[in-house]
Amino acid sequence: MNWKQGEHVALIGQTGCGKTTLARELLKLRGYVLCLITKPDMILWPGRWARVSRVKDIDLSENTRFILRPVYAHQQEEIGRGLLSAWGQGGWTLYIDELYYLEQQLRLEEQVVQLLTQGRSLNITVVLGMQRPAWVTRFALSEPTHIFCAKLGDQRDAQVIKSIIGSEYLEAVQTVGWHKFVYLNKISAEQTIVDKTSIVKLFTGGVSHGV
């Protein structure tokens, strides 16, 4: 599978199923990466990635992979600036660690939807982490080209997956084991079961375009 810059990715699953680990392996394949982190899970990220709490501290002359984790009081302001900066420059891969929190608590849904629906023309890829697909924008499932979903525990989430992606995919998801994901390429309609050790072999896409 070739993961082209501008193609979005959705990672769906309950806490502890391995979404962040999967995201980390995926993002190693991209060139210019900005991770928008709202949870205290910094230990999971490679030490060589630059860690910043303010967008203005991003220095492309020193690094191309950044983890933006603002202090709690400035989360909305700085993450909003991160989304805007990526939109203005193009070429970035953005990782959102918890979409529900970004949309509902930080009230940044409009910016996220803009990136999902219009970012392809700017070579922007968005990688979305979400626990509850029933509670986030439907664009989070309709716009990504690549879907990874772990077994679902709530019927509302299952119904949303069924209505937007399809019953065949839902059936596969509900039989998958722990720490496993059903990968769907929406262009080819091919489905594959993957985990963190097989994800790199699945994708052959190169690094992203410059910003």
- Beta strands of 78-164 (E only): which ranges? 93-96, 125-130, 146-149
Task: Please write the tens of the pLDDT for every residue from 36-86.
Answer: 998 876 667 877 899 999 999 999 999 999 999 999 999 999 999 999 999
Could you give phi then psi for residue 142, rounded to 5 degrees? -80, -30
Does pTM top 0.75 for this prediction? yes
Structural domains in the chain plus CATH codes: 9-202 (3.40.50.300)
Predicted local distance difference test score (pLDDT) of residue 204: 59
What percent of the chain is helix, strand and coil (3-state, nearest 5)? 40, 20, 45
Helix (H) or strand (E) holding 115: helix 109-118
Six-digit token pair at 15? 């806490």
Share of the chain above pLDDT 90, in %: 76
Residue 211 has pLDDT above 70, yes or no: no
User: Is the dihedral angle over the CA atoms 72, 130, 44, 67 positive or is it negative?
Assistant: negative
Task: Please write the tens of the pLDDT for every residue from 126-170.
Answer: 999 999 999 999 999 999 999 999 999 899 999 999 999 999 999
Average pLDDT on 168-187 reads 93
